[in-house]
Amino acid sequence: MARRFIDELPATKALLLRAAAPVLGTTSIPRRAARIAAVALLLSGGSGCSSAPGILGAATWTAGNSEGACRPGIPPDARPVDTSIPTTVVGNGAPGSCTYAKLESAVARGGIITFDCGAGPVTIPVAATLNIPIDRDTVIDGGRKVTLDGRNLVRIMSFDSPAFRANEHRLTLQHIALINGKATPAVAIPVAPLPCSQGWNDGEGGAVYMQDGNLTVIDSVFTGNQAAPLGPDTGGGAIYVMASRHGAVIAGSTFSQNSASNAGAVGALHADLRIYDSLFSQNAAVGNGANNADPAKCSVINNNQNEIGSGGNGGAIYSDGQSVNVLLCGDKIVGNRAGVKAYGGGLFFTSNNMQGTLSIIDTEMTGNTGGHWTVVSAGTARDAGTAVGTNCKTLSIRDSTLQGLP
């Protein structure tokens, strides 16, 4: 697999899916409005506030896998942050007071950010990508009422530090929804005939992009986000984390109808990934041909390699890198798809040095489509089923239902 970061380091339910229009190529106002309304209906059981459709409050909020749980328990770092003493409160109690400008100002200061937008849900249209400070911790708590809407125009958040697995600071998102984020690629792969790779070398993270930071997501919803649709190394329809010292932790969250070339929902490169009690449904890796280096088939150099294939790996979740681990516990990963001639409808995980471990506990992974394989260098477990494509050091499966396994 290509390793672009190393080369360039200096530089949920069927109702929702039928009600909301497909993500790919969707920019029309009616379709976007339909998706927002569908999210509100699914998560809250009612309509939005008067200013915009949104998600209702704590009594009816539903995020995560309601049909299972990580029986070993959720670790302390996957539990909500105490936000009782906020650094900034966005809004003064009226829905109209919760504006993008006020949120942008709060994000620039960092610290703990909460909202006072009234009793009902509120949707804040995101006018431009929110740049998260890289020199301090930031917590954004939506109180199970706030939806940030990228409007199919912009990536919602970016934490962009220039180093490699060095930054100790963390972004925490909790009790919030991020919808319709879009990462627009700008760096095209050199033009070359097939089977040389096609598409883009950038455009990761439709809702959240993070480089050299640490991410926690708790009790949150990501729907209808999209990243670059084609390319061997780009991806992360909802979230893309790369070069992270402490990786990404996700708990009790829902990812539906997100898409990207690879990593339809969540992508990680050189970053540990731990996911607890979360739901992944109807996400798609929409690239094709997977990814390889083969000078016999392509004479053109991209990312210092003779790359062939244009992505499509990891319909729901994708992890790639040196000595990183993946843990899935209490998750439901259903109805996701990898691209044509690509792998891992549920999970794609390749450990470049075969030192990474894959642990799957109390998890259901069914109804996903795509190619599959399992290569393990140690231990007795040798098959992760037909929703997984993986090279790893050890594989551990416990109390789980995985398609293709008895």
34 pLDDT higher than 60: no
More confident: 122 or 57: 122
- Measured from the Cβ of residue 90, the count of other Cβ atoms closer than 10 Å reads 26
SS (H, E, C) 144-190: EEEEEECCCCCCCEEEECCCCCCCCCEEEEEEEEEECCECCCCCECC
The predicted-structure confidence for 322-378, as pLDDT tens digits, reads as follows 999 999 999 999 999 999 999 999 999 999 999 999 999 999 999 999 999 999 999
Residue numbers of the domain that contains 330:
4-402
- Widest CA span in the chain: 64
Mean pLDDT of 135-148: 98
Prediction pTM value:
0.87
Identity of the residue numbered 134: I
Residue 238 in tokens: 């909802």
Determine the pLDDT at residue 25: 32
Determine the pLDDT at residue 8: 34
164 pLDDT higher than 50: yes
Please confirm whether the linkage preceding 195 is cis (ω < 30° from 0).
yes
Is residue 61 very low, low, confident or very high in pLDDT (cuts 50, 70, 90)? confident
Work out how many domains the chain is built from and give that number. Answer: 1
Give dist(CA 102, CA 323) in Å, integer: 40
DSSP one-letter code for 341: T
Is residue 208 very low, low, confident or very high in pLDDT (cuts 50, 70, 90)? very high
Nearest to 355 by CA among 274, 272, 248: 272
**Residues in Cβ contact with 73 at an 8 Å cutoff, skipping those fewer than 6 apart:** none
Mean pLDDT of 387-403: 98
E-only strand ranges, 311-384:
317-321, 326-329, 332-334, 347-351, 357-361, 364-366, 373-376
Inter-residue contact 310 to 288 (CB < 8 Å): yes
Instruction: For 144-179, give one letter per residue: b (16+ CB within 10 A) or e.
Output: bbbbbbbbbbbbbbbbebeebbebebbbbbbbbbbb
CA angle 141, 242, 2 (to 5 degrees): 150
Q: By CB neighbour count within 10 A (0-12 exposed, 13-18 middle, 19+ buried), where does 336 fall?
A: buried
The predicted-structure confidence for 225-244, as pLDDT tens digits, reads as follows 999 999 999 999 999 999 99
- Measured from the Cβ of residue 241, the count of other Cβ atoms closer than 10 Å reads 29
